[in-house]
Amino acid sequence: MRPLLHPAAEDITVEALLHALADPVRVAICTGLSGPGCSLNCSSFRDIRNEPIPKSTLSQHFRILREAGLIRSERRGVEILNSSRFAEVEARFPGLLAAIVNAHRIQLAEKEASSKKRKRAD
């Protein structure tokens, strides 16, 4: 089993960040890790969607976030604790994460509003 790879802060690229954050599951993981000092294991996010996410898929999502430089993953006994590297990313690319997370938040709010409206119409 190869060791967990983390890019240095200066090797983080915009392409990798955007690719990582173009997926709603991964954005949800990031917002879940955005609390101060927040550290969660992978399987905490198994039910972040309506359907449970297979653990191999979840593992890939975490790898992509990790190698993009968005999270740091450390073994703690039998599990792996994940924490955000948002401060480092913010230092390099100011405003980027906030804008993306905010955009996803807006989209989610609109989706919920429209589904509520649909319900009223029924």
Partner DNA sequence: TCAATAGTTCACAAGTGCGGAACAATTGAA
Partner DNA sequence: TTCAATTGTTCCGCACTTGTGAACTATTGA
Query: Exposed, middle or buried: residue 82 (CB in 10 Å: 0-12, 13-18, 19+)?
Result: buried
Whether 18 and 69 have beta carbons less than 8 Å apart is answered as: no
Name the token pair of 27.
């954005």
Alpha helices in 39-95, H assignment, sequence order: 55-68, 86-92
Residues 75-94 that bind its own copies (CB under 8 A): 92-94
- Half-sphere exposure for 15 (CA within 13 Å, toward CB): 1
Q: Which amino acid is at 116?
A: K
28 binds, among its own copies, DNA, none (CB under 5 to 8 A by kind): none
Does the footprint of its own copies cover residue 106 (CB under 8 A)?
yes
Number of residues located near its own copies, criterion CB under 8 A: 25
Q: How far is the CB of 84 from DNA (least distance, A)?
A: 15
Number of residues located near DNA, criterion CB under 7 A: 26
Does the footprint of DNA cover residue 13 (CB under 7 A)?
no
Residues 20-59 that bind its own copies (CB under 8 A): 21-24
Q: Which residues bind its own copies (CB under 8 A)?
A: 10, 13-15, 17-19, 21-24, 92-96, 98-100, 102-104, 106-107, 110
